[in-house]
Chains A and B, each alone.
Chain A
């Protein structure tokens, strides 16, 4: 998943060679692959991801040619990494996100996956996920994905309530979700569903129904996000004009608490602020790689990558992206090389969101001084602190950014 606004950074060289710091210690870090598929059937009003509908795109960046272009970046990536002195590492996880990956033929997705596996190899039992909209899969396409090496599918369910789905501009019929989940199961894929709460007009009861409905499909994993009003989206404009009521943080908090309770009752535990899994193995290993600061290469327009404290991001438009690769140039639009202090800031910001928590003894003396206050405010679990890790309480998860800020001071 790639948000549409790119950061400001340094220029990135055309040959894709990374700064020296990227290679340091790489052999001990895991390596993942993200593949961005920038196409959707319709654009949802709240979504600011880098995705395009057919009408938004001209010829050159056609969906048909996309797999080939993506494969080209896979080749480019393999070359650039070895030119940067990075060891060849097997893929620890692969994630196809979007947009709507399943808008492409399953064969296109498996082809890209095959090219990557051919280059790097895949660790045993590696997780290979694709995102999918419930109405863009069939039993056959799911079977094809499974046969091509995919192990997991994440469905954008969002809500079980028609009027909520309508505000979100979701096109799928809610009945389609159990069907898609069942097919995925049957073919052997593990299943996650995405939910969104706090949509304007969603009642507390609506949300409870959505949560219970999602649980009734017995997924291995659930992501539940509060609706974020992203700048520049149709939803933001509707709220500004007063056509849709604004979202309310207190409503979000109450719905989060409810969801957490219901998930727990159903046997799912939180492992990240917005993610719950049935067992620790069901946690999304790919997303964990992001939060733990592992290395990954992001394929596709607007995709972000991270290798050893170097972050970069590709040009956004699929046409510009394809053109770069056609010329044999890196599609990167900009990058930043993080210094030690910034990497530490990111580590605190990301790992503090996880149930595995931050090891207290890795924290700076100033950060450690803040812990007593965090315990007093009931934001972190005192027992876990005594056992050596900083883990958020339920209240702390809802105030996670405040915890991060406190640890940074």
Chain B
């Protein structure tokens, strides 16, 4: 048994030989953060009384949803055979929308713990994250977690895991993040098996920025991993991409609270505070060096996270537009993956077109904006980005259906993804059928074990990013998992479907769909609107059209009765209050031509849920 380290190695004076940098990677919910909890506890950096489950999930939204959104790096001490080691542990998110967080964390490490839920086995992000780690040449330690669960099948999944990374099933560690079983052994093994960082302590300093976070009190906090040389306080640092220099106001390590230090040496992971207020000036992937002894060659950075899904965000109350603008600006300081630009909608007024990594990212961003800034928002139906080439060779990038060009179109390209689906073999047929209807092209299929198969498809992003995962889950009784990454684009037969109320086009309801699905979209949206828009004093035709061709239509019949039959002495106050309420309600109506559309109808029509059928109405 390794005891808790008696003396923790001091930052800036730590021999790289006693440093081990690793991250915990896994499919979503396989227990990364819970395992990290045990490590924080066993190594004594978090006191028993301060401990709470998923300690490193600090954002409200992480705690409420029980998922990790941001990676967290923590310096922890651990003693093996009388030597105190310095471990840098990074807990990463598991959800596919946040894969870019994982890849950034990997670049700060020599090793990775590949954690697999012993009751679930290998899933799609297990594979995806494993491949990422291998691309970064990390040493992998395979670990089965949750072995305390009655449903755990450790032998079976140890074999599966060994088969996957090439090793013996006996070498797979068994732990329980819940009970703590096996975690000390795991820490020991990390020390024994992972390589120590290597770097030249005397070379000009080079440190890789792997995260950059805005903090109201401290300004931008930049997380770095030192490769060569060292950084010390009160030193002028330089960003190699821009050659911009900053004073170093504070340097330190997180364990897990920030602790200022005398500096950071080769192989160490810590944070820098320079007083800058904009994370873009301290960009993830950039290399930090010193002003007085600058390095000449920057480290290989990362690709920027690329937004995949776009949606319009509009304040319900138009006067909140400036609040939304400021809120987005603030959020962007913390979320480099967020991109946005102002847009206006005839129906919804002033808002922003925002690019997200996926639907979860959209959902979380929207929730944070609403909650942290007290806003009510409408988000328009999400869509992907299309590249439209006109016959005159002009190229237009369309992130909003209403920007779809009206001129003669030569070609439309849509983004594609390489998708990996893992599922028990019995569901292969159902999965292939689903992918076929989503215009997928089978790329290959491999058996990971006797009863688990990996299926690879190339699919249009637009076909998988919205409801695909839910359908996959239901078709595989919850056993299927999906991972995807961008994979170029393709020419496709796409059309823009417009929705018209009384002949007036409503931009918020337009969609770009594959021609084969345009009819279904038109029928669905006109039907939904018919249910959602209250009857007016005149008939309101609702049409779906591609160009001038109508593909679906519905009709809202004119209202014939809108009067309270009885209005006697006792009814007067009641009726007056009702009228005053209706008057208020009218303020929340958006006018589309002559048609009054309640805000709620917009929200309901743009959300994916089925509208409540009110049969009595029509």
Residues in chain A within 8 A of chain B (CB atoms): 1-3, 5, 7, 9, 34, 225-226, 228, 246-250, 252-254, 256, 273-274, 287, 290-291, 296, 298, 302-306, 311, 313, 336, 342, 345-346, 349-350, 353, 377, 379, 397-402, 404-405, 408-409
Q: How far is the CA of A70 from the CA of B388 in the complex (A)?
A: 81
Determine if B563 and A398 form an interchain contact, defined as CB atoms under 8 angstroms apart.
Answer: yes
Determine if A350 and B560 form an interchain contact, defined as CB atoms under 8 angstroms apart.
Answer: no
Q: How far is the CA of A64 from the CA of B45 in the complex (A)?
A: 82
Most chain-B CB neighbours within 10 Å: which of A225, A298, A402? A402
- B569 on the interface (CB 8 Å rule)? yes
With a cutoff of 8 Å between Cβ atoms, the chain A residues found around residue B570 in the complex are: 1-3, 298, 302-304, 313
Determine if A252 and B561 form an interchain contact, defined as CB atoms under 8 angstroms apart.
Answer: yes
Known: A246-B616, A290-B569, A311-B572. A7 touches B577 (CB 8 A): yes
- B575 on the interface (CB 8 Å rule)? yes
- B566 on the interface (CB 8 Å rule)? yes
Interchain CB contact (< 8 A) of A274 among B566, B580, B615: B566
Return the chain B residue nearest A196 by Cβ. B565
Determine if B566 and A405 form an interchain contact, defined as CB atoms under 8 angstroms apart.
Answer: no
Additional 8 contacts, C-beta under 8 A, given A1-B569, A2-B570, A290-B572: A225-B565, A247-B616, A291-B567, A345-B576, A349-B575, A398-B561, A404-B579, A405-B582
Determine if A401 and B564 form an interchain contact, defined as CB atoms under 8 angstroms apart.
Answer: yes
Q: How far is the CA of A348 from the CA of B560 in the complex (A)?
A: 21
Determine if B562 and A250 form an interchain contact, defined as CB atoms under 8 angstroms apart.
Answer: no
Q: How far is the CA of A349 from the CA of B571 in the complex (A)?
A: 12
Q: Mark B565-596, 1 if CB is under 8 A from A, else 0.
A: 11111111111110110110010000000000
Q: How far is the CA of A252 from the CA of B615 in the complex (A)?
A: 16
With a cutoff of 8 Å between Cβ atoms, the chain A residues found around residue B557 in the complex are: 250
Interchain CB contact (< 8 A) of B579 among A248, A306, A349, A379: A349
Determine if B586 and A405 form an interchain contact, defined as CB atoms under 8 angstroms apart.
Answer: yes
Determine if B576 and A298 form an interchain contact, defined as CB atoms under 8 angstroms apart.
Answer: no
> Closest CB-CB distance, B577 to chain A, in whole Å?
7
Known: A342-B576, A346-B576. A399 touches B561 (CB 8 A): yes
- B559 on the interface (CB 8 Å rule)? yes
What secondary structure prevails in chain B residues at the interface with A? helix
Determine if B569 and A253 form an interchain contact, defined as CB atoms under 8 angstroms apart.
Answer: no
Return the chain B residue nearest A225 by Cβ. B565
Most chain-B CB neighbours within 10 Å: which of A226, A250, A256? A250
Determine if A399 and B577 form an interchain contact, defined as CB atoms under 8 angstroms apart.
Answer: no
Determine if A249 and B561 form an interchain contact, defined as CB atoms under 8 angstroms apart.
Answer: yes
> Closest CB-CB distance, A94 to chain B, in whole Å?
13
Q: Mark B175-209, 1 if CB is under 8 A from A, else 0.
A: 00000000000000000000000000000000000
With a cutoff of 8 Å between Cβ atoms, the chain B residues found around residue A291 in the complex are: 567
Most chain-B CB neighbours within 10 Å: which of A249, A256, A311? A249
Known: A3-B571, A302-B570. A253 touches B565 (CB 8 A): no
Known: A246-B616, A273-B563, A345-B576. A287 touches B568 (CB 8 A): yes
> Closest CB-CB distance, A273 to chain B, in whole Å?
6
With a cutoff of 8 Å between Cβ atoms, the chain A residues found around residue B583 in the complex are: 405, 408-409
- B374 on the interface (CB 8 Å rule)? no
Q: How far is the CA of A345 from the CA of B582 in the complex (A)?
A: 13
With a cutoff of 8 Å between Cβ atoms, the chain B residues found around residue A409 in the complex are: 583, 586
Determine if A225 and B566 form an interchain contact, defined as CB atoms under 8 angstroms apart.
Answer: yes
> Closest CB-CB distance, B468 to chain A, in whole Å?
36
- B345 on the interface (CB 8 Å rule)? no
With a cutoff of 8 Å between Cβ atoms, the chain A residues found around residue B579 in the complex are: 345, 349, 401, 404-405, 408
With a cutoff of 8 Å between Cβ atoms, the chain A residues found around residue B574 in the complex are: 3, 5, 7
With a cutoff of 8 Å between Cβ atoms, the chain A residues found around residue B576 in the complex are: 342, 345-346, 349
Interchain CB contact (< 8 A) of A399 among B559, B567, B580: B559
Q: How far is the CA of A153 from the CA of B566 in the complex (A)?
A: 19
Q: How far is the CA of A379 from the CA of B574 in the complex (A)?
A: 24
Interchain CB contact (< 8 A) of A401 among B538, B562, B568, B616: B562
Chain B, range 421-437, C-beta contacts under 8 Å to A: none
- B537 on the interface (CB 8 Å rule)? yes
Determine if A400 and B573 form an interchain contact, defined as CB atoms under 8 angstroms apart.
Answer: no
Known: A349-B576, A349-B579, A405-B582. A304 touches B562 (CB 8 A): no
Determine if A1 and B568 form an interchain contact, defined as CB atoms under 8 angstroms apart.
Answer: yes
Known: A7-B573, A7-B574, A290-B572. A253 touches B561 (CB 8 A): yes
Return the chain A residue nearest B571 by Cβ. A3
Q: How far is the CA of A285 from the CA of B588 in the complex (A)?
A: 40
Interchain CB contact (< 8 A) of B562 among A3, A287, A399: A399
Determine if B572 and A400 form an interchain contact, defined as CB atoms under 8 angstroms apart.
Answer: no
Q: How far is the CA of A252 from the CA of B575 in the complex (A)?
A: 20
> Closest CB-CB distance, B111 to chain A, in whole Å?
62
With a cutoff of 8 Å between Cβ atoms, the chain A residues found around residue B538 in the complex are: 377
Q: How far is the CA of A247 from the CA of B573 in the complex (A)?
A: 25
With a cutoff of 8 Å between Cβ atoms, the chain B residues found around residue A400 in the complex are: 562-564
> Closest CB-CB distance, A241 to chain B, in whole Å?
14
Most chain-A CB neighbours within 10 Å: which of B538, B557, B562, B575? B562
Chain B, range 530-574, C-beta contacts under 8 Å to A: 537-538, 557, 559-574
